[in-house]
Structure 1
Amino acid sequence: MALTVNLPFRRREPPAPPHDVAAAALRSDRFRLERETDWRRLEEVVTRLEKNRIRRVSDADLLELPVLYRKAASSLAVARETSLDAATLDYLEGLVRRAALQVHGPREGFGRWMLRFLGGGWARAVREIWLDICIALAVSIAGAVAGWLLVARDDAWYYALVSSDFGDTRQPGASREVLAETLEGTKDADGLATFATYLFSHNSGVAIMAFALGFAFGVPTLLLGFYNLAIMGAMLWLFFQAGLGIDFAAWLSIHGTTELTAFLLADAAGLHIGRAMAFPGDRTLMAATQKAGRRAATVMAGVVIMLVCAGLLEGFGRQLVHVTPTRFAVGGTMLVLWLGYFTLSGRRRA
């Protein structure tokens, strides 16, 4: 005998009577008309601020902006709860979003931020990580010395340290003439812009990697800095033993004083974050890392600027300037400018 199951019958709700729809529309219109004046005033102020026409905004409107913003946000909350018409909801959501950017967003444009950054903000951030700079500098010097001593003892280390991209004809056993040719520039400027762009891309990748590795408590950052300078130490030995040490130093200095300083700051910025994570002190790990991260990020923003300068100096200056004293003069001038900026800029006068 088959069993029958009686399913509950669900009645379909009848559509809302026309008078309920009319009442809802009337309620929506009344809600909008009661507050529309404040909304329009807020929209006008926000539009002028978005167009950088702050001079056309009166002091009264600026002082009233937070109040108008809170009123609009409150109206939006009420509109959502009472399910007002979609057009009012869309308008309020867009208005509140735009006003929030003006009330809680950044107070300055990119140009003003850049002036404040170059006017001392970057230099102060660099001075604040002086301990990390000293540690990174000591490790870098140790790397250069180690590279020199290793290759001097056994030139097989040269091939282990210096890749073929750097080595080419600059190898142990090469004649003085061959090595001297690698230090010569070019008289043709064609293609140097592309070369400078490539150099910036490569150098910025190395710097960003050194910075990013700082999150592993700074140890990989120091190892990378040690290795990079070991390469330079090996190449210094190669040219000094061929009697071209001064020429190589001049060839390197024209861009190296900027580039190596940028790498040093990138290493120090990564180490700064690593030290904050390893030794947060009285603060929580998150608070210590957040503070160190903001400072290190400021330093890295300047590192990018330095690498742009280094790319131009290496791509153009090193290739077009052939005289050793002139190369030293350019490199030395850049070093003095950077040291002077980091030492003096942004200090408040008593």
Structure 2
Amino acid sequence: MALDYLRKIPWFRQAEIAPSAEIEAASLRSDRFRLEREVDWQRLERIVTALEKGRPGRISDDDLLDLPVLYRKATSSLAVARETSLDAAAIAYLEALVRRAWFQIYGPRETLTGWMRTFLGGGWSRAVRAIWLDICIALFFMVAGTVVGWLLVSREPDWFYSLVPGAMADGRVPGADPEVLRQSLDPTADANGLSVFATYLFSNNTGVAILAFALGFAFGIPTLLLLISNMALLGAMLFVFVEAGLGYEFVAWLSVHGTTELGAILLAGAAGIHVGRSMAFPGQRTVLAAAQGAGVNAAQVMAGATVMLVVAGLLEGFVRQLVGDPSARLAIGGVMLAFWCLYFAGMRRRGRQAE
């Protein structure tokens, strides 16, 4: 009753009719907008569909030449549709069409296999050579860390327990029986070997590599401290075996995977230092721009370091357990070291051709 009464009032009747009139007007605008541009949308969709299915031969020369123009028209239509609040279906359709067209025009043209071929065939080595100064800096601090660990334990054996976690030492401490230490180098699975130490070393070095790169944004200082701390651990353990007359055997055991694993840490640390050094000395650029420019190259180096860590894990888990002769172990480590050095130096020509 009340509603019937209100509908007799002119202003209420006009207010009730107005929304439906506005909806009808908006619908007409949306239909007119679609009809005026739908031919171009459908043409663009046919081209994009052919490209997505890998059938560019089905696209005429005119369509191929008009593809950028059609894409710009579609993006313009999308902007107008959003601005004028057209129907949601038209906006959703245009968003999907523009996204698909963008990928076909501007998206990556190279497959994962092609990217790996380019990366391993010169891109990675070129990125490594570009940060040679940072590699020298990282190498210096890694050597310094090893020397610090050695000197601390040689002068005060109690330093060993501060540098090396007890679970990792597992009896391999200063003054330990040389025969026990020698047995710990045995490759068989049932021996009291360095399996705990090896597992810890690999997981620790992987974490160190990631942190060394990630902490580079703090002007590289945490990266340098991390490299020193990590290598001091190795220096302390090295002193224990050298003191027992087993330095050669320990170095040979470590070299199987160590030349690759420590090389990965070296590259990761250098990548972090490269970013930090660019931020500390940005030159004419802003700090953010310097970090962004250095980060692109450093990321490539870090990706390669990840590959090296995987290779080191395979060497540590299989080769080191199958080969027990110290000379053979040292030869394997030397071959791996030579391989990486020759790889980074030998890909120079292919890297320049790729450029």
Question: In the alignment, which residue of structure 1 is the partner of 2:308?
Answer: 306
1:303 Cα deviation after fit: 0.7
The equivalent residue for 2:17 is 15
- SS state at 2:16 partner: coil
Which of 224, 227, 240 is 1:225 aligned to? 227
Distance 1:252 1:45, change over 3 A: same
Q: 1:127 to 1:54 in 2, by over 3 A?
A: farther
**Residue 5 of structure 1 aligns with which residue?**
none
Q: TM-score, normalised by structure 1?
A: 0.87
**Contact map agreement 1:222 1:267 (CA 8 A) in 2:** yes
Partners of 1:218 and 1:41 in 2: CA distance = 53
Q: Which residue, out of 241, 251, 276, partners 1:274? A: 276
- SS of match in other structure, 1:186: coil
* Equivalent runs, 1:177-326 vs 2, <5 Å: 177-186=179-188, 202-326=204-328
TM-score by length of 2: 0.86
Once the two structures are superposed, residues 171-219 of structure 1 have per-residue CA deviations (whole angstroms, 9 ceiling, x without a partner) of 112111100111111268xxxxxx9998765432221111112111111
Provide the residue aligned with 1:163 in structure 2. Answer: 165
Deviation (angstroms), 1:18: 6.8
Q: Secondary structure at the match of 2:219?
A: coil
C-alpha separation in 2, matches of 1:331 and 1:185? 15
Unaligned runs of 5+ in 1: 1-9, 189-194
Size of the alignment, in residue pairs? 335
Distance 2:51 2:327 in 1: 54
* Greater share of helix: 2
Counterpart among 43, 46, 61 of residue 45 in structure 2: 43
Distance 2:112 2:55 in 1: 16
* Correspondence for 1:135: 137
Write out per-residue CA displacement over residues 86-143 of structure 1, whole angstroms, 9 at most, x where no aligned residue.
3222211211122223333333232222211111111111111111110111111111
Tell me which of 147, 161, 166 is aligned to 2:149.
147
**Percentage identity across paired residues of the two chains:** 64
Q: Distance between the aligned counterparts of 1:65 and 1:243, measured in 2?
A: 74
**Paired letter, 1:103:** I
Distance in 1, Cα, partners of 2:181 & 2:19: 95
Unaligned runs of 5+ in 2: 1-10, 191-196
Give the ranges of 4+ consecutive aligned residues of structure 1 lying more than 6 Å apart after TM superposition: 17-20, 195-199
On the 8 A contact 1:196/1:316 being kept in 2, the answer is no
**Kindly tell me: are residues 343 and 38 of structure 1, through their superposed partners in 2, closer, same or farther at Cα, counting changes over 3 Å?**
same
Structure 1 residues 30-179: aligned runs within 5 Å? 30-54=32-56, 57=59, 60-179=62-181
Cα separation, partners in 2 of 1:176 and 1:20, compared to 1, 3 Å: closer
